Structure 1
Amino acid sequence: MLTGDVAYIKQMNRCLLLSKIIEHGMISRADLAKITGLNKATISVQVSDLVSEELIIETKQEHKNLGRRPIMLSINDQAGFALGIDLDKNTITFTLSTISGTPIRTDTIELPSSNYKIILELLIMHIKDYIQQCAHARYGLVGVVIGVHGIVNKDEMIYFVPQHQWQNKNLKKDLENEIGIKIYIENNANLCSFAEQVYKHHQSKNLLSVSLYSGIGLGFMVNGELLKGYHGYAGEIGHMIVVPNGLPCSCGNLGCWEQYASESSFFNQLSDNQNKLDLRYENIQNMLFEKKPKTCNQMEQYIKFLSIGLNNIINLYNPEILVINSELLRMYPNALTEITAHLTSTISQYCELLLSELGNKACVMGACALAIKKFLGVSELCLTSDEDMLS
């Protein structure tokens, strides 16, 4: 029993030190002792182990003062790599990052169909290619996390993906059988929320992220953990009914929120109104800039329906920070002002309403971060986003 207790404490100390080294980028042993409260002997033993495992490296910092140059500790970026995957309606996006969360490569491929076997083969082929690219590192590819735009249970089984009409697919098992490395499957909105906390809002204890792209998804971080519900199905807020007997939804209901407030619904409606089949974000941005009446009126209706759903979410969860992830709203200067004007209830309470700076990269960033967290075994993870990646 004593051995187990000692090993557990040692593992806790290891995870604490790793998380602080990652958070600060570079830090000395002395500063680690101040921050963590661990004694110098404990830190010395742990650092020695981590250096021998090539997870961290030591460098001498240049300084002009007299005396010995301090030895700084930092994560070894070349020890291994994480792969984040965003499996969306029409595309798959792959992002490879270092174990400090810095992205080094992103690829996007078009999906030829929604057929499960075809997409499975595409995933197998590309993941194997990334494994080969990372073979030079001591730990190679440390983990793969796939964000799915659908319902994923606590066992990481895909229960339902409306856009592909997949039901009860064990993508995790199918991939692991072929590839031989650890695969994690997660809901894309959960990964977006995780990315917001890990990269942008480290101190937030109650962060809620709403993604508005091909559908609407909700991710909620409470004390650093995702709120998933009993089976893991929590967050399918896009299928909250906001218009009784309204527009039909692929889920089988009528009047779901995502039929009125997702970006795909906005694009579809505007395409019908403009008789244009291939509208892009830049087209809409130009129409809004030129104050085209139909486009402006539709945006007004879009924000109205979006605000109805946000009001319901705020009343349900009382978030500290509410992040809206939408490329459409990022190009509309008055978005937050107009949304806030609709949230007039004296009951609805939240501290901050923000537009995501991570945009459509949030899912793959969250996926990379989760793979890193799983590999290192840390309970908390604070990473620094690369501003070039966000542009």
Structure 2
Amino acid sequence: MRKAICFDVGGTFIKHAVIDEEGKVYDFGKTPTPKANIRSEIVLLIQSIANKSKETHLIEGIGISSCGIVDKKNGRILVSANIPDYSGFEIVREVENATDLSVLLENDVRAACLGERWKGIAKKSDHIVMITLGTGIGSGIIANGKLVEGEHGLAGEFGHMIISINGEPCPCGMKGCYERYASTSAFISQYCHAANIAPYPNKISGETIMELVRKRDSIAVSVYEQYLEYVVTGLVNIAHSINPEIILIGGGISEQGEHFISSIRSLFKKRAMKVYQDYTRIDIPSLGNLSGLAGAGYLVLSQDVMKGM
């Protein structure tokens, strides 16, 4: 059975697992993302885990799902807001040199989108959009069964579509970006502003606010209802422009489960054109922490697993 060792590199944790060509997961684990000597420590970590995996598995190659904007053709991280000194890192070359295995790199949300299509809730669907609502908004598109990459591999940055002209400044240099209104960090900022409190000294989180929503706190409920409008504004734009069969919403806020997704579905039906209401399914990824790892495994093993897609 052919297998890949897969890594999902995030700002907080690096998850890893061995995945075979049928999608079975072995030896799942996670470790905190290094905070110093980032590049060398990530390579040493991957090398150590890969060497251990090779003792018990026949490893075909390494798949890396990573946060940030990636240049998969040249195997490097173009831009990363979540890991210091990660931008510009030629991760593929460094890991290949350290492990003597071939390495394939993909953005984490695109990899998760592939994973959900291979073994998750979007299995067999040919038209998929996945977004994650976190510190920012990540996204991936599958159209006609293939990942949409664009001319330079930069397609699908929905977090930076403009939903408010001359709106809030975004670190990308523009104003009014979707992620400045619909990310989890935006949700926290909106609540703190409405409640007239400082966000970080008080350690306010999305879960903290949602607990207040469940208790029917008037400020929290008002902010949450406005936040849902922001999220759905982006979903309507995506549906009208891409016409996906399914839109998957991941990230911290999606962990609220049915309460969150049912509110999104209801509001989407009020805001989208009728024909898109009928043909757009909105759901939560089913693989959880394994979505990105599954997608990374699919990249490495795709010549054989494609038969099951």
1:286-318 CA-partner distances (Å, limit 9, x unpaired): 222212222222211111111111111111111
Q: Determine if contact 1:241/1:257 at 8 Å carries over to the other structure.
A: yes
Structure 1 window deviating more from structure 2 (267-276 vs 122-131): it is: 267-276
Select 1:110's aligned residue among 13, 32, 36. Answer: 32
Distance change (3 Å), C-alpha of 1:112 and 1:127: closer
Select 1:219's aligned residue among 129, 136, 140. Answer: 140
Select 2:208's aligned residue among 283, 294, 301. Answer: 283
Q: Determine if contact 1:163/1:250 at 8 Å carries over to the other structure.
A: no
1:316-351 CA-partner distances (Å, limit 9, x unpaired): 111112222244134161433443244332464633
Q: Determine if contact 1:92/1:109 at 8 Å carries over to the other structure.
A: yes
* Residue 159, structure 1, aligned to residue 78, structure 2: yes
One-letter code aligned to 1:144: I
- What is the alpha-carbon distance in structure 2 between the residues aligned to residue 326 and residue 138 of structure 1? 31
- What is the alpha-carbon distance in structure 2 between the residues aligned to residue 304 and residue 354 of structure 1? 17
Tell me the equivalent position of 1:100: 22
Distance change (3 Å), C-alpha of 1:135 and 1:152: closer
* Residue 89, structure 1, aligned to residue 16, structure 2: no
Distance change (3 Å), C-alpha of 1:265 and 1:108: farther
Q: Determine if contact 1:83/1:371 at 8 Å carries over to the other structure.
A: no
Tell me the equivalent position of 1:135: 54
Unaligned runs of 5+ in 1: 1-54, 56-79, 383-391
1:52-95 CA-partner distances (Å, limit 9, x unpaired): xxx3xxxxxxxxxxxxxxxxxxxxxxxx5423222223332223
Select 2:150's aligned residue among 224, 229, 248. Answer: 229
- What is the alpha-carbon distance in structure 1 between the residues aligned to residue 205 and residue 28 of structure 2? 21
Select 2:267's aligned residue among 339, 350, 353. Answer: 339
What is the CA distance between 1:208 and its match in structure 2?
Answer: 1.6
- Name the SS for the 2:124 alignment partner: coil
Structure 1 window deviating more from structure 2 (310-319 vs 148-157): it is: 148-157
- Which is greater in Rg? 1
Q: Determine if contact 2:70/2:107 at 8 Å carries over to the other structure.
A: yes
The Cα RMSD (Å) is 2.6
Unaligned runs of 5+ in 2: none
Q: Determine if contact 1:327/1:359 at 8 Å carries over to the other structure.
A: no
Structure 1 window deviating more from structure 2 (90-99 vs 199-208): it is: 90-99
Distance change (3 Å), C-alpha of 1:282 and 1:257: closer
One-letter code aligned to 1:175: V
* Residue 198, structure 1, aligned to residue 118, structure 2: yes
- What is the alpha-carbon distance in structure 2 between the residues aligned to residue 366 and residue 207 of structure 1? 14
1:127-183 CA-partner distances (Å, limit 9, x unpaired): 2222232233462x3222222222223513322223347544322112212222111
* Residue 368, structure 1, aligned to residue 286, structure 2: no
- What is the alpha-carbon distance in structure 2 between the residues aligned to residue 143 and residue 130 of structure 1? 13
- What is the alpha-carbon distance in structure 2 between the residues aligned to residue 85 and residue 198 of structure 1? 17
Q: Determine if contact 2:16/2:28 at 8 Å carries over to the other structure.
A: yes
One-letter code aligned to 1:335: S
Select 1:309's aligned residue among 234, 240, 265. Answer: 234
- Name the SS for the 1:169 alignment partner: coil
* Residue 186, structure 1, aligned to residue 106, structure 2: yes
- Name the SS for the 2:54 alignment partner: coil
- Name the SS for the 2:128 alignment partner: strand
1:248-306 CA-partner distances (Å, limit 9, x unpaired): 22211122111111122223444564546334454344222212222222211111111
Q: Determine if contact 1:95/1:368 at 8 Å carries over to the other structure.
A: no
1:157-216 CA-partner distances (Å, limit 9, x unpaired): 322223347544322112212222111110112112111111133321212212222321
Identity, % of aligned pairs? 26
For these two proteins, the number of residue pairs brought into alignment is 298
* Residue 266, structure 1, aligned to residue 187, structure 2: yes
Q: Determine if contact 1:144/1:371 at 8 Å carries over to the other structure.
A: yes
Structure 1 window deviating more from structure 2 (264-273 vs 211-220): it is: 264-273
Q: How does 1:319-334 map to 2 (within 5 A)?
A: 319-331=244-256, 333=259, 334=262
